[in-house]
Amino acid sequence: MRILFRLFLVLLDLLLLPLRLVRRALAAPRGAYLRVDVDGWVAEIARPRAFWDRSPRRLSLHALREVLALAGADARVRGVVVVLERFSGGMATATSLREALGALRAAGKELVVYLPSGGGTRELFVASAADRLVLGPATSVSALGFAVEAPYLKGALDRAGVEAEVFARGRYKTAGERLVAARMSDAEREQLSGVLDTAWEALIDALASGRRVERAVAEGWVNEGPWPAAEAVARGLADAVLDEDELARALAPALPDGAPMIDAARYGARRRLRFRPLVRPRYLAVIEVHGPIASARPLAWSSMAVDRAVCGAMKRALDDPRARGVMVHIDSRGGSALASERMLRQLTRLAAKKPVVACMGDAAASGGYLVAMGAGVIVAQPTTLTGSIGVIAARFVVGPLLDQLGVTTEVVKRGARADLTSPARHLDEGERAAMERELDAVYGSFVDAVARGRGITPEAVLPLAGGRVWSGRDARAHGLVDALGGFDVALAELRRRVGPGAERLEPQVIPGGRGGSPLAALPRLMGGVAASGALAELLALALATSGATGWLYCPTREMSD
């Protein structure tokens, strides 16, 4: 019955071919501009959606690249207008969006970016790819650079009668220092400075090259901002200030109604001539490892990378003969050591049978980086946060608080350490030694996995480990990743590894890698693109490590502007 139904659809495609050819030819009037709206979060590739799901779709960079490639080869299309209301995402995702837009400009089409509400650092970073940058009236440009604000809670915890016991492997594994220290350590300052240096250079390079000015001028724009819209134009940071309804006329003043504008998604649907095959086609599987890594069953409203779901997606890709290759897209700062190890083992089995490429998003650190060790090639953007090869565990002791409240804790137990996890008391010397032993084992396993994945010795890994967070640029220089780029670069590498005919295979997300929920936005609301405060960081850590005894977690937050 399924074959008959697909045969019917194929015949229907053939009958409608003349109409589709006419639609394709008339997809855009001559001199038209395509309109792309960006407002919020951006995804590398669209995920399958249930028919009842009416939530807003994220802009898919993979789909955008396809549409821009069609526009670049279409003589009827004069250019593209990107209406960038706001950009929510890290610098790596912003880099991927900017590169996609820059490719259109390189193809000889005009690229216009309109900022109806002005913009901050990431909006200006993306918009600098444009031939013309237009601001909305009464707006301002606030490209102020990057900052990481790290509150240290020891004093507050002392006053509350709460003590933290932190166990870490690696000088740079500093997520727990905010609980036990009053000031930032030299190691934390060093690694944050390295990450910020990369982001800063990327921003200044983008502004200088995009706006065709010297680096000193671009640095002045950032260091002396924010700028009201009119002043931004006067200083060359933007080209014009216009209402949105004036934009079309400004692009084609000779036409009565201005330049015709066509929705980019609608244009792409008309330009593509895709026929349904009689049999289900082969494809390139995309498996997402997004959010905190956990081994617990997720709540219905949670959003995390759960080992059972991610490993299940990997197994489906392994068992499906139509999946010719696999891309693992990682955007995670880590979580449960056990869950990360399980994902790595399953990915290693998968890579033994099929080509596997890892593509890193805004962050692939700690457990996220560990999972990537199962891939044959690792691709990251220069501003991706990665590495953090280290282990951390923490517990809170509320005994002093209970004493202040007049609460007495009595324990009846069988087993010397049956109350090991009790927050009412400190660990004794033997218990601390047991915790240290466990972390030694987890850290050693992590280092060994990196050595196997990168084809080097454990001794060569150690100088790069210690919990140090690297930018993708620096990680590439140290051999922790293989190539710099985004989803398109990783896809090209995967197709090369699959071999002849792979250029015709489309990427397809295998469901199961993560869940979506409002909770996923909570860390972002508490300090930027990811958790910039210790409270949000601890929340993510607790979500990711429920029931675990060891953790792999990245201490560095995405920079806020």
Structure confidence by residue, pLDDT tens digits, 518-535: 333 333 323 233 333 333
Structure confidence by residue, pLDDT tens digits, 132-145: 999 999 999 999 99
Task: Please state, in angstroms and as integers, the Cα–Cα distance from residue 332 to each residue in 209, 305, 361, 386, 424, following that order.
Answer: 31, 8, 8, 9, 32
DSSP string, 57-126: PPEEHHHHHHHHHHHHT-TTEEEEEEEEEEEES-HHHHHHHHHHHHHHHHTT-EEEEEEBTBEEHHHHHH
Structure confidence by residue, pLDDT tens digits, 266-304: 998 887 766 566 567 899 999 999 999 998 765 544 578
Q: What are phi and psi of 455, to 5 degrees?
A: 70, 35
Q: Is the pLDDT of residue 1 over 90?
A: no
What single letter denotes the amino acid at residue 253? P
The three-point CA angle 349-353-357 to 5° equals 80
Query: Tokens 């919990």 identify what position?
Result: 467
Round the CA-based radius of gyration of the chain to a whole number and report it.
26
Distance CA 268, CA 34 (A): 10
**Per residue in 324-335, is it b (16+ CB within 10 Å) or e — as a string?**
bbbbbbbbbbbb
What average pLDDT score do residues 63-73 get? 93
On whether the CB atoms of residues 174 and 408 are closer than 8 A, the answer is no
Q: What is the pLDDT of residue 227?
A: 96
Q: What is the pLDDT of residue 527?
A: 29
Model pTM score: 0.86
What single letter denotes the amino acid at residue 267? Y
Q: What is the pLDDT of residue 293?
A: 94
List, in sequence order, every residue forming a beta bridge with 317; answer none if it has no partner. Answer: none
To the nearest 10 degrees (0 to 180), the angle between helices 186-211 and 91-106 is: 20
Q: What is the pLDDT of residue 322?
A: 96
Say how many CA atoms lie within 13 Å of 285 toward its Cβ: 29
On whether the CB atoms of residues 547 and 335 are closer than 8 A, the answer is no
Q: What's the pLDDT band for 17 if we cut at 50, 70, 90? A: low
What average pLDDT score do residues 488-513 get? 92
What average pLDDT score do residues 195-219 get? 97
The three-point CA angle 232-123-83 to 5° equals 90
What average pLDDT score do residues 420-427 get? 92
List, in sequence order, every residue forming a beta bridge with 335; answer none if it has no partner. Answer: 293, 552
What single letter denotes the amino acid at residue 344? L
Q: What is the pLDDT of residue 486?
A: 96
Q: Is the pLDDT of residue 208 over 70?
A: yes
* Arithmetic mean of pLDDT over the chain: 86
Question: Hey, what are 316's tokens?
Answer: 């489906």
Q: What is the pLDDT of residue 83?
A: 97
